[in-house]
Structure 1
Amino acid sequence: MINVTKTFLPDKAEYIQYIHEIWDRVQLTNNGPLLQELEKQLKEFLDVQHLYFCTNGTVVLQIALKALRISGDVITTPFSYCATTNSIIWENCTPVFVDIDPLTFNINADLIEQAITPQTTAIMATHVYGNPCDVEKIEAIAQKYNLRVIYDGAHAFGVTYKGRSLFSYGDVSTCSFHATKVFHSIEGGAIISNIPELHEELHLLRHFGHRGDEEYRFAGINGKNSEFHAAMGLCNLPHVPAIIQARKEVFELYDKLLNWDLLFKPELSQDIEYNYAYYPVVFQSEAVLKKVQAALVAEDIIPRRYFYPSLNSLSFMPRTYACPVSEDISVRVLSLPLYVGLPQDDIERISKIINKNL
């Protein structure tokens, strides 16, 4: 079976050596030495100042909202994984959906300003498929209206924009280190702050809001991660450049083989170094998508409808918004298999099946 992704695993012996160290120290969690080392290496790799390794890519969104004291309305995108809007709702805020750009599939920055009201306190935008949002325009709007900016960078590990880590934009950025991502720690995530004053608070928010046994500062949560997860991250991090290169080669082969007269894919932003996190293609209709998907599944090839459905259409959203571009793209987009080690023969076979059923 060929799945939409396949988790990269490092040398088993290297990981087991870390496990022996954990066993010898008998410190499995609570900000252990491997976690601290991973945070150090991640900051160096990503060229950011403040980064905290946490439980997953959802809890860091919740921590970001809490740390910035966000309330009321949060402008966000309907084209993302549900964790983006779920975090807003969980923190007792209200998602306000702004439609997406038809070329990049990111939130359409030209539509944000008209959605701002006195109740708006923040913008939470997703770098969809690791493709940067219009960070300059969003920053200008945020400054004009005194709004906070949180970027959901779940897909954006290793991406740079204009020579800077994509995580260095906005007030806070987050990332997912789930096993399906370009870089993973099995489960995990990170919160990256560009506000030095938040340094201490972010550390405490992921650790119940206290230091030691007696110094309780405020109500935090358990957003810590373990030494076992940090060990996987330490094993995987040195492989990231080779992982990105291997994914690029798969990406470019799809580019060469697919029939672009009857397909299109998101337009990548200029001035970026990309991580090739996903390979989404958009079909002419949902009917064609379903036909292609069925043909692939019949050959034990499992793509993913990512992102589907458009989040503004979910029944539990507190308000109703029309987002016609997102609603249209979401029913026609399919992410194709993309991972290190995907054989060229399989890429050719996948492409042939797709082209035959367009």
Structure 2
Amino acid sequence: MIALNSPVKPDIRKLTKMLETINNNGWYTNFGPLHKELTIRLEEYLGVKNLLLTNNGTSALQVAARAIGSRHILATPFSFVATVSAFKWQNDEVSFADIDSKSLNLCPTAVKMAYRKGCKADTLVATHVYGNPCDVELFAKLSEENKFQIIYDAAHAFGVKLNGESVLKYGDASTLSFHSTKIFHTVEGGAVIFKNKDDLIKAEEIINFGIRPEIGVVDVGINAKMNEYQAAVGLGNLEVIDQILEHRAGLFELYTKELENVVELPRWHPEANRNGAYMPILLKDNSQMKHLIKHLYERNIQSRNYFTPSLDKLFIDSHNYGAINSRNASEKVLCLPMHAHLATKDVLTITKHIKEIL
């Protein structure tokens, strides 16, 4: 079976050595030395400041919202369920605006129309879908005009740059997921990159029960800290991340070359690199998608209709300013195998079968 995903396996010898160090120190969590080291090294590698590690990507979204003062979210309906359920869980008000049918990212025109129709959201939440950057410059302009903040769900965008600068620098906060299925992982984990230092300081309190060092509890908080074992996995995986990104980007390029005249592919941001987080294709309709899934599986190839359903259909109590494009995309987008262990010959086998089946 050619698997849809296969997590990066940490070097067990290096990991064991770090775990022994943790055990000898007796410091397992609460901002330990490996936690601090991973924070510094990720900031250096990604070219960002004000990075806060968290225990998972969902917590990263929730903490980001509370740190910058969000309560009413205008979100994309085309994303993983956690992009919205993270805010619904903490009783934030959520509204939806539609996506662009070509890029599959939140559509600036749809956002503009939502505010013209009376949207009062204080924060826009946009996903860089499949690692494809949103129109960050236009969203920045819209945020000034309509006085909203921006959180980018960048769970798929590790290593993505715009004009040589990290896409994580945009918005008031960008969040990452370090789940084991992601390009870079700490088994479970996540991070928030804040625009402002004060928001980082606030978030550090939030993830530690609302405690400010040497003062005590200053606000309501939760426990969303990354532990030392997670940080150890991250430090190990960071050593091989360049090879992983290069390999996945190469696979993405090969897929594109083989399929660009066979199926529709999402329109990529022209000034961004590809990190190979996912390999999405757009089929003609739901019937063709199901047909392809079935026949690929018969040939021992996994694939996944991702994302489905459109989130406005899940969270029906949220205000919807339109989600036609999202609903259409959710019925015909298919993600093909993409991971660090996938070989060039596997991609050629997959694309050969797709051509035959279609």
Q: TM-score range by the shorter chain?
A: over 0.9
- Paired residue secondary structure (1:273): coil
How far the C-alpha of 1:225 sits from its partner, in A, is 1.1
Give the Cα separation in 2 of the matches to 1:315 and 1:218.
Answer: 30
How far the C-alpha of 1:253 sits from its partner, in A, is 1.9
Gaps of 5+ in 2: none
How far the C-alpha of 1:80 sits from its partner, in A, is 0.4
Gaps of 5+ in 1: none
Q: 1:119–1:257: structure 2 CA closer, same or farther, 3 Å change rule?
A: closer
Aligned partners of 2:248 and 2:338 also within 8 Å: yes
Correspondence 1:235-314 to 2 at 5 A: 235-258=236-259, 260-314=260-314
How far the C-alpha of 1:261 sits from its partner, in A, is 3.9
Paired letter, 1:301: I
Give the Cα separation in 2 of the matches to 1:34 and 1:221.
Answer: 21
How far the C-alpha of 1:274 sits from its partner, in A, is 2.4
Paired letter, 2:206: L
- Paired residue secondary structure (2:181): coil
How far the C-alpha of 1:214 sits from its partner, in A, is 5.9
Q: Report the counterpart of residue 345 of structure 1 in structure 2.
A: 345
Q: Report the counterpart of residue 85 of structure 2 in structure 1.
A: 86
| Residue 181, structure 1, aligned to residue 170, structure 2 | no
Q: 1:223–1:230: structure 2 CA closer, same or farther, 3 Å change rule?
A: same
Give the Cα separation in 1 of the matches to 2:177 and 2:285.
Answer: 31
Aligned partners of 1:262 and 1:283 also within 8 Å: no
Give the Cα separation in 2 of the matches to 1:48 and 1:163.
Answer: 12
- Paired residue secondary structure (2:77): coil
Paired letter, 1:327: R
Give the Cα separation in 2 of the matches to 1:113 and 1:91.
Answer: 26
How far the C-alpha of 1:118 sits from its partner, in A, is 6.0
Give the Cα separation in 1 of the matches to 2:326 and 2:201.
Answer: 38
Return structure 1 stretches of 4+ with deviation > 6 angstroms. none
Identity across matched positions, percent = 36
- Paired residue secondary structure (2:113): helix
Aligned partners of 2:19 and 2:229 also within 8 Å: yes
Q: Report the counterpart of residue 165 of structure 1 in structure 2.
A: 166
- Paired residue secondary structure (1:301): coil
Give the Cα separation in 1 of the matches to 2:295 and 2:152.
Answer: 36
Q: TM-score, normalised by structure 2?
A: 0.96
Q: Report the counterpart of residue 108 of structure 1 in structure 2.
A: 107
Give the Cα separation in 1 of the matches to 2:3 and 2:19.
Answer: 29
Q: 1:279–1:28: structure 2 CA closer, same or farther, 3 Å change rule?
A: same
Aligned partners of 1:64 and 1:172 also within 8 Å: yes
Aligned partners of 1:57 and 1:176 also within 8 Å: yes
Q: Report the counterpart of residue 148 of structure 2 in structure 1.
A: 147
How far the C-alpha of 1:292 sits from its partner, in A, is 0.8
User: Deviation per CA, 1:52-71, whole angstroms, max 9, x where unpaired?
Assistant: 11011111111111112212
Give the Cα separation in 2 of the matches to 1:344 and 1:173.
Answer: 32
How far the C-alpha of 1:299 sits from its partner, in A, is 2.5
Q: TM-score, normalised by structure 1?
A: 0.96
How far the C-alpha of 1:25 sits from its partner, in A, is 0.8
- Paired residue secondary structure (1:256): helix
Give the Cα separation in 1 of the matches to 2:75 and 2:177.
Answer: 18
CA-based RMSD: 1.5
Give the Cα separation in 2 of the matches to 1:285 and 1:42.
Answer: 41
Aligned partners of 1:312 and 1:321 also within 8 Å: no
Give the Cα separation in 2 of the matches to 1:214 and 1:248.
Answer: 47
Give the Cα separation in 1 of the matches to 2:29 and 2:335.
Answer: 35
Give the Cα separation in 2 of the matches to 1:222 and 1:52.
Answer: 13
- Paired residue secondary structure (1:150): strand
Give the Cα separation in 2 of the matches to 1:100 and 1:145.
Answer: 19
Q: Size of the alignment, in residue pairs?
A: 356
